[in-house]
Amino acid sequence: MKHWWKNAVIYQIYPKSFQDSNGDGIGDLRGIIQRLPYLKKLGIDAIWLSPVYKSPEIDNGYDISDYEDIDPSFGTLNDMDELIKQAQQLGIRIVMDLVVNHTSDQHPWFIESKKNRDSPYRNFYIWRDPVNGHEPNNLQSGFLGSAWKYDKNSGQYYLHLWSPEQPDLNWSNPQVREKIYKMINFWINRGISGFRMDAIELIGKDPDKKIIANGPKLHDYLKEMNKYTFSKKDILTVGETWQTNPKIIEKYTDPKNKEFSMVFQFSGQGIDTIPGKEKWDYKSVTPQELKKVFTDWQVGYNFEHMWLGLVLENHDLPRVISRWGNDNNLRIPCAKMFAIVTHMMKGTPFIYQGEEIGMTNFHFKSISEVRDIESKNMYKERLSKGYSKAEVIAEINAKSRDNARTPMQWNTKRNAGFTTGTPWININPNYKSINVDACLKDPLSIFNTYKRLIQLRHDNENIMEGSFRIYENQNQNVLSYIRQSANKKWLIVANLSSVEQNFSSGYKTKKVLLTNYRPRKSMEKIRLKPYEAFVVSVC
């Protein structure tokens, strides 16, 4: 069976920051509908929508209080149906975010569960007695502090691997699973084509033994979920899984296991963290390290038995050019280089909103500009440990999730065309030069590189089906690889550094398919420009 998602390119929208249609400063579904023609122009196959369900928005929608309704700040169920319909008319599918490791503490299940120990919903969540008057154990929350919260009323603790307002569902309860599967089918029946599975590696946990990711029951649950939901249609499922290796990835994505279509390739995300420290303890990255990361994204996998989602950016990561490249004088060639390297790989590429125009990290000057719960908690904690404000703001500028959450930069008008009101988070002042309008006018824009990469993928089977092989070159700053099928052989070359580099290949260029500088006639003993990258068919 040829799955639609195998040679697709997916575009992630962070709805709150994409396009506001009613002037309240918050992006919404009507705003997305307005921008569908833009996405059509880019050529993507599907949109992954970060959560738009009803939510108190403690974690920007990753805390859901009603799975079968839309949050009023984003619109209505009718707007959602309209989005699905209008997107479909343009050949664009909709993928939703499935957040089922936890709910909001405002979800009716949790409100009921909390009422007393005998509530029929008690067992929907994970409640434990105190141990010697304390938390059951020392499990930590992803947003700092204990993962257990005491409930005075019932004298027990509940588990929250994220904020206290995000209590973990009890997946060992079959009633919970049944309700979740019903909800998944509710969306599939509404015309949804896929799900991005939030924090999914956590659902099989055994909190008493402190086994969290990759817990003992994880794959049983996923097989069961697949059986009752996704298997009925050709649904794309992509797991947000961080604790993986090639073996674990096969477990999730080998078609014979009937779990997921793919999981994200997050290997190497830690290279800019000082080893053994927290993500905030950042360090710079060398081109040699980058070369290893990109190599590890592809080598050592048997793609017959697994599949990957390829990602440079998402709503939890800083902007890639600011993080691993150059967001300044070499911003344009650098952004194109990252795009070429990633999109010519095997797997399904995901583009995060704004990546296609080379948006950059924000420069936060004070904590009052920061919106993200994770950054705010970290700020408090580190100040209490004696860090200076300046140090912590520097860490936020390097690593905060808010870097990716500033509004989409559409044009040079007020608020970058994102809203006529006051945006919920500041707009990057560089929107006057970095914006969609400017990119659409310029045939050599980053946008047009992405567009071309998507076309190449759609038109050439060797990108999806062909083999991947590293083309050995002696230069540690230059990555080169071959994508080959029965009729096509392409060489991809990328200078991962900001300075010129030597490269040489005996291959003869048949055709230059894409480059971020001038096309080269020969590849014999050449000096690659800063971040130069190209795709050539060779013989």
Q: Which is nearer to ligand GLC, 101 or 516 (CB)?
A: 101
Query: Which listed residue (28, 240, 259, 355) is catalytic?
Result: 240
Two tokens at 412?
């040079």
Q: Which is nearer to ligand GLC, 199 or 494 (CB)?
A: 199
User: Is residue 372 near ligand GLC by the rule CB under 6 A?
Assistant: no
Residue 374 CB, nearest approach to ligand GLC (Å)? 7
24 binds, among ligand GLC, Ca ion, none (CB under 5 to 8 A by kind): Ca ion
Strands 156-159, 467-470: pairing is: unpaired
Query: Which listed residue (59, 97, 105, 198) is catalytic?
Result: 198
Specify the 3-state DSSP secondary structure of 247.
helix
Among 99, 249, 334, 398, binds ligand GLC (CB under 6 A): 99
26 binds, among ligand GLC, Ca ion, none (CB under 5 to 8 A by kind): Ca ion
User: Is residue 198 near ligand GLC by the rule CB under 6 A?
Assistant: yes
Q: Which is nearer to Ca ion, 14 or 282 (CB)?
A: 14
- Whether 350 and 434 have beta carbons less than 8 Å apart is answered as no
198 is a catalytic site residue:
yes
Among 58, 199, 238, 262, binds ligand GLC (CB under 6 A): 199
Q: Which is nearer to ligand GLC, 29 or 213 (CB)?
A: 213
Residue 19 CB, nearest approach to Ca ion (Å)? 9
User: Is residue 62 near ligand GLC by the rule CB under 6 A?
Assistant: yes
316 binds, among Ca ion, ligand GLC, none (CB under 5 to 8 A by kind): ligand GLC
Q: Which long-range contacts (CB under 8 A, 24 or more apart) does 312-315 make?
A: 312/338, 312/339, 312/342, 312/352, 312/355, 313/351, 313/352, 313/355, 313/404, 314/12, 314/350, 314/352, 314/404, 315/12, 315/14, 315/50, 315/60, 315/352, 315/401, 315/404, 315/405
User: What's the 3-state SS for 161-202?
Assistant: CCCCCCCEECCCCHHHHHHHHHHHHHHHHCCCCEEEECCHHH
Q: Which is nearer to ligand GLC, 99 or 493 (CB)?
A: 99
22 binds, among Ca ion, ligand GLC, none (CB under 5 to 8 A by kind): Ca ion
User: What's the 3-state SS for 261-319?
Assistant: CEEECCCCCCCCECCCCCCCCECCCCHHHHHHHHHHCCCCCCCCCCCEEEECCCCCCCC
Residue 22 CB, nearest approach to Ca ion (Å)? 5
Residue 50 CB, nearest approach to Ca ion (Å)? 15
Closest to 312 measured CA to CA, from 332, 300, 327, 297? 297
10 binds, among Ca ion, ligand GLC, none (CB under 5 to 8 A by kind): none
Closest to 344 measured CA to CA, from 225, 462, 187? 462
240 is a catalytic site residue:
yes
Q: Which is nearer to ligand GLC, 103 or 516 (CB)?
A: 103
Residue 315 CB, nearest approach to Ca ion (Å)? 18
161 to 190, contacts with ligand GLC by CB under 6 A? 162
Among 224, 254, 316, 465, binds ligand GLC (CB under 6 A): 316
- List C-alpha distances in Å: 18 to 292, 332, 404, 420, 485: 33, 22, 11, 13, 38
Give 12's DSSP letter: E
Residue 20 CB, nearest approach to Ca ion (Å)? 4
- Whether 306 and 246 have beta carbons less than 8 Å apart is answered as yes
Contacts of 443 (CB under 8 A, 6+ apart): none
Residue 252 CB, nearest approach to ligand GLC (Å)? 16
313 binds, among Ca ion, ligand GLC, none (CB under 5 to 8 A by kind): none
Closest to 129 measured CA to CA, from 161, 160, 159? 159
Count of residues near ligand GLC by CB under 6 A: 9
Q: Which residue has the tokens 């994880």?
A: 218
201 binds, among ligand GLC, Ca ion, none (CB under 5 to 8 A by kind): none
Strands 66-70, 53-54: pairing is: antiparallel
Q: Which is nearer to Ca ion, 15 or 239 (CB)?
A: 15
Query: What is the CB neighbour count within 10 angstroms for residue 255?
Result: 14
198 binds, among ligand GLC, Ca ion, none (CB under 5 to 8 A by kind): ligand GLC
Tally helices (H) and strands (E) across the chain: 15, 20
> Residues interacting with Ca ion, by CB under 5 A?
20, 22, 24, 26, 28
Residue 124 CB, nearest approach to ligand GLC (Å)? 17
Give 466's DSSP letter: S
CA–CA separation, 54 vs 58, rounded Å?
12
Q: Which is nearer to Ca ion, 24 or 234 (CB)?
A: 24
Residues designated as active site: 198, 240
Chain positions contacting ligand GLC, by CB under 6 A: 59, 62, 99, 162, 198-199, 240, 315-316
